[in-house]
Amino acid sequence: MRTDSSPGTLPAREHLPATDAGTPVLDVVIPVYNEEKDLQPCVRRLHEHLERTFPYAFRITIADNASTDTTPQVAARLEAEIAEVSTFRLEQKGRGRALRTVWSASDAPILAYMDVDLSTDLNALLPLVAPLISGHSDLAIGSRLARSSRVVRGPKREFISRSYNLILRGSLQARFSDAQCGFKAIRRDVAQALLPMVEDTGWFFDTEMLVIAERAGLRIHEVPVDWVDDPDSTVHIVRTATEDLKGVWRVGRALATGSLPLDRIARPFGDDPRDREIQDVPKGLTRQLVGFCVVGGLSTLFYLLLYSVFRQFGGSQVANALALLVSAVANTAANRRLTFGVRGTGGAVRHQAQGLVVFGIGLALTSGSLAALDTASSDPAHSTELAVLIAANLAATVLRFLLFRAWVFPERRESTVVASHQPTPTPTPSSPSHAPQYPTRPLPHAPLPQRPTAPQYAYDTQIRAGEAADQTWRDATVQLQPVRPSDNTPGASR
């Protein structure tokens, strides 16, 4: 349940709008550190695959993580030889830092990354990004642990990978199957809202990103991949595993305390069917009933324990009132967070005050039951008192749930958000050819363009380092354009 009255910052997912302009649809980032041997064959193989199979404009960005060998020279040579390749140099190490910086500065609507060893078969690349282009999903990941995946690797890495994902499922309730596969993609508008919330700058970066996205209700698409282990990988397994476990602890603590502003990346009404007001279908009723029953059962045990303790020092009425008061405060706090999903401290005092009113009703019901028992028997047995209290509490529990749902934590009705689209002014001929045109308003809907009949467009692949440094964000809606010839064009090179 969302706790704010305003919709989230992300628009409803839609098929990417498109016009004839020089912005690539896909930007594939390859983070590298001292990869002078593997970089050139990797980039050429990826470029050949994209040119042959990807129907829209693309860019390959080499993100150099402070390499100390000849990797920068190799990257510069590739950039000079291949029009769709650009390079970006960072003076600090860290895969997460490289991805954050390059993704923040990119103007492509679909952002992806893959490891330089190309362990993942490239035939999974188009299925990876297609759901993002269509508007079906927000993020996409390759999974080596899916049933239809075909993986070749040693038992040590297999054990570590499965153990790590098991830890994520047990500690952070992650539902995605493979957090560590170096083959992921994200929509740019989602990245703009999500990246500032991700703290890690190393190998835990994408795991943290996935956990936050999943908890915020974003849709993550998984693609089974064919994957072959790279025996020459330079990843330090023990150090990486240690840092990952520290990251799991940090993110788990943030989720438990509610310090992550997940509502910041919530989507507005109309995108998630669970947010729609449908007649005669109470929203979230089943989940709330389950949560309320669990909290209620634990609260009842807590109440009976307190009553037994307080009964040793006073009469039944005093013991009942004190036990019910303490357990009611705990019950309201638990239901507020676990049953009705209210996060943060906003409205907590008001909720507790309303909870005390509900407590008063329960007190009257249980105290009346005890008074009736005392009238019927001058010295009832302790077990009889407990039985009467259990029955009274069951009745009070049903009433408490109804009051909580209808009065204390009512469902907020979110207004429908209607997106308006206005055309972006066409760049004038006087505009410099090297300066990409960034639209400042949403574009009208149009089908994604197909390949033109002759090569007639070009685009610049320079990443703006200043924008990455100060984290200035551009508008998430961008213009897309194919750049290669048709299969039927005579003499077209592939």
Beta strands 85-90 and 58-65 are: parallel
Whole-number Å distance between alpha carbons of 65 and 100: 12
pLDDT in tens, 302-339: 888 888 888 888 888 888 888 878 888 888 888 888 88
Among 168-177, 209-218, 238-247, 317-326, top mean pLDDT goes to 209-218
Alpha-carbon distances, residue 267 vs 190, 301, 416, 477 (angstroms): 10, 39, 11, 16
pLDDT at residue 400 in the model? 78
For 139-155, give one letter per residue: b (16+ CB within 10 A) or e.
Answer: bbbbbbbeeebebeeee
pLDDT > 70: percent of the chain: 75
- Answer yes or no: are the C-beta atoms of 427 and 291 closer than 8 Å: no
Q: Cα–Cα distances in Å, from 229 out to 49, 198, 266? A: 20, 28, 37
pLDDT in tens, 259-294: 888 877 776 655 666 656 555 545 567 778 888 888
CA angle 187–192–196, rounded 5-degree value: 130
Highest mean pLDDT among 142-151, 259-268, 364-373, 405-414: 142-151
* pLDDT interval class at 4 (50, 70, 90): very low
**3-state SS, residue 275:** helix
The predicted-structure confidence for 441-469, as pLDDT tens digits, reads as follows 343 444 444 444 434 333 343 444 444 44
Q: Residue 160 belongs to what H/E stretch?
A: helix 155-172
Q: Per residue in 187-231, pLDDT tens?
A: 999 999 999 999 999 889 999 999 999 988 899 999 999 989 876
Q: What is the CA radius of gyration of the chain?
A: 29
pLDDT at 391 > cutoff 70: yes
Give the pLDDT band (50/70/90) at residue 159: confident
Rounded CA gap, 262 and 247, in Å? 18
Average pLDDT estimate for 120-146: 93
- pLDDT value at 85 more than 90: yes
Q: Which pLDDT does position 237 carry in this prediction?
A: 67
Residues 39, 82 contacting (CB under 8 angstroms):
no
